[in-house]
Structure 1
């Protein structure tokens, strides 16, 4: 789990490598084109490697929960105290997400689509479901995704002539759907209508109209579905320890991916990460099952552990890694330019300068985490 989590956080921290900027300098390169694609979110439907960061992080919260509950019960924890701790943890995660979204704002930026905030909003219910049996958990997953899909499908479509540009959708946007799938079009859906009401209840510099990326507060509901899939995976792991339930992981992964693709290509529900559609929950959840199996096989089954050490350093301090990736890049980059000079990273040419500078930044991030690891300084929420 720590290696998988470390890989996910590495993908997030590696944004500083700026593959997109390198690709713009070498537009005919297939190699840089592929790397640039997978370091960005897809515009709407579909999936890149970068799109798997948030679902993987959410999935692993669920995987860890059975172990956390068992450890607290073994230490004499009672349900009321444990639930109170879960609520407190949820509040801290949501507050931390809001804080990070407010670092460049004039006032507190009350927004709830951040990864930490989304996890925090759903965590108390996840904790409660952690005490229920598998039928409850699968039933809750079906009710969450089915109910969420139905609510969106029944929400009225925008009227003819709707001004999409007024809600931040470019005039040349080529990702509009028609028919049933139109209920999941950008910034003209149930989730965006909710945010136009909900987010304007908070103090703002200017009224909220739409999120430019299409991200939504209500996505925490299907994100809870992703965490539930992780909870199921964590129960399987713990129940069969020290064996790894590869068969279950592979079957679940294949079935969930197939289910998501079926919903998408049948025109029932698109696979869109930005609004976390039910089809996305299934598809990304299936990928998470396969990725978890992929990390378990070399480390747990084959015993090849040394290669994963750099990932463990990150994964065992994921909250610290998250904070470093959001708060430190500008400070460290400015420090490099101040002390090494403005041209320190140009020795491979202007086209590769973003990559060279980003590599230095990424190494600095990892060294901070390694220093914390050596001194057993782990941030926990």
Structure 2
């Protein structure tokens, strides 16, 4: 087996991170434009998958955020490995308390930076006032969920980590089903009647994303910790077993684990619907299974078979994923730059295809920026 590792990191992780980030930064707009210019079934279906579901149910677009968090979890055993080896111990739970405190502070610093950057993406620097500022964010949830998953990783062995994983999902399920919400009772899983929405209205400061709840709210961040833990389990498995057992067995175990999680999510869906907005336990299992399948796909092609040149654009995105996410979310007007450079040429294209070429030109400009940063070795690392 040929493993491609850069700075002690599997390249497939950066490629997978780049794959999911591509759809956010501009890929979705390319597909939507294609579906309008050439409404053939495949483009129409892909376009339908690049929208969030209204409430219950799942699309590919709903998976992007949890896959990104899952990848952060996979990276955890690798990022902590050097500190563990320096301390002369085998397992992270064996680290002496003084070493753990150093790691805790670095983790807390990373989390605080991500929470702050989430504020910035949400418009903090516009100074619209406290009531108009949204404090919950995608980056904030990634930082917080990663932090608590890290605490579990550093303080408990694998068996207890699995207990934490199951306990979080079951505990969240029981709370959402059994704890009554004033005016709605227990078990109401609507936006306003759910326990998650009620807690957001009570305790989440500033503006809520959806008035009566926030999809990155307080209570639904708890099961997101389990999403990070799933990634951590996979990362631990790769570090401890992938070089011991055969490639075929490694892949087989990953695929079986994915199928089991998807099946569990589908079964749980009957009583606790798959719902990204509430980050339900069934959602964690279902998307966790697909996260493993996505990773396995890139792992086999890149790390096992060694075909990696084709994935260089995705590597560029994945290597600076947080930076391009923030830029694409409004900090940089890529469309203005693309129109300045390519707008004249695009005018010669048939009108129906111009939106397609415009969106492709935006992606090209984004990749040029990422390539420049990559060659300069300038990475936004947190």
Q: TM-score, normalized by length of structure 1? A: 0.84
Aligned equivalents of 2:86 and 2:77: distance in 1?
14
1:70 correspondence with 2:92: no
Equivalent in the alignment of 1:379: 380
Aligned equivalents of 1:75 and 1:316: distance in 2?
26
User: How do 1:293-312 and structure 2 match up within 5 A?
Assistant: 293-312=296-315
Bigger drift between 368-377 and 150-159 goes to 150-159
Equivalent in the alignment of 1:260: 265
Equivalent residue in structure 2 for 1:47, among 35, 54, 58:
58
1:102 correspondence with 2:123: yes
8 Å Cα contact 2:176/2:194 also seen in 1 = yes
User: How do 1:2-41 and structure 2 match up within 5 A?
Assistant: 2-15=14-27, 17-20=29-32, 23-24=35-36, 29-41=40-52
Aligned equivalents of 1:215 and 1:277: distance in 2?
12
Equivalent in the alignment of 1:335: 337
Aligned residues: 353
Pair 1:312–1:25, CA change in 2 (3 A):
closer
How far does residue 328 in structure 1 lie from its aligned partner after superposition? 4.8
8 Å Cα contact 2:76/2:150 also seen in 1 = yes
Aligned equivalents of 1:302 and 1:15: distance in 2?
26
Q: Secondary structure at the match of 2:346?
A: coil
1:123 correspondence with 2:133: no
| CA deviation vs aligned residue, 1:342-367 (integer Å, no higher than 9, x gap) | x6534433333322111100111111
1:190 correspondence with 2:202: no
Equivalent in the alignment of 2:111: 90
8 Å Cα contact 1:8/1:53 also seen in 2 = yes
How far does residue 307 in structure 1 lie from its aligned partner after superposition? 1.3
How far does residue 280 in structure 1 lie from its aligned partner after superposition? 0.1
Pair 1:261–1:207, CA change in 2 (3 A):
closer
Pair 1:143–1:111, CA change in 2 (3 A):
farther
Aligned equivalents of 1:207 and 1:18: distance in 2?
26
Equivalent in the alignment of 1:57: 68
Equivalent in the alignment of 1:361: 362
Pair 1:375–1:208, CA change in 2 (3 A):
closer
Aligned equivalents of 2:363 and 2:374: distance in 1?
16
Q: TM-score, normalized by length of structure 2? A: 0.84
8 Å Cα contact 1:346/1:352 also seen in 2 = no
| CA deviation vs aligned residue, 1:7-29 (integer Å, no higher than 9, x gap) | 11112112562533554566x53
How far does residue 216 in structure 1 lie from its aligned partner after superposition? 3.0
- Flag structure 1 segments of 5+ consecutive residues without an equivalent: 161-178
How far does residue 312 in structure 1 lie from its aligned partner after superposition? 1.2
8 Å Cα contact 1:320/1:369 also seen in 2 = no
Pair 1:110–1:198, CA change in 2 (3 A):
farther
Calculate the aligned-residue CA RMSD, in Å: 2.7
Q: Secondary structure at the match of 2:219?
A: helix
| CA deviation vs aligned residue, 1:81-120 (integer Å, no higher than 9, x gap) | 1111101111111111121011666236543542211112
Equivalent in the alignment of 2:289: 286
How far does residue 324 in structure 1 lie from its aligned partner after superposition? 2.2
Aligned equivalents of 2:303 and 2:336: distance in 1?
41
Aligned equivalents of 1:96 and 1:337: distance in 2?
28
| CA deviation vs aligned residue, 1:123-158 (integer Å, no higher than 9, x gap) | 322111112211111100111111111111013367
Pair 1:16–1:87, CA change in 2 (3 A):
same
| CA deviation vs aligned residue, 1:301-324 (integer Å, no higher than 9, x gap) | 111121121111111221222122
Q: Secondary structure at the match of 1:218?
A: coil
Q: Secondary structure at the match of 2:198?
A: helix
1:137 correspondence with 2:161: yes
Aligned equivalents of 1:308 and 1:208: distance in 2?
37
Pair 1:352–1:215, CA change in 2 (3 A):
farther
8 Å Cα contact 2:122/2:134 also seen in 1 = yes
Bigger drift between 285-294 and 125-134 goes to 125-134
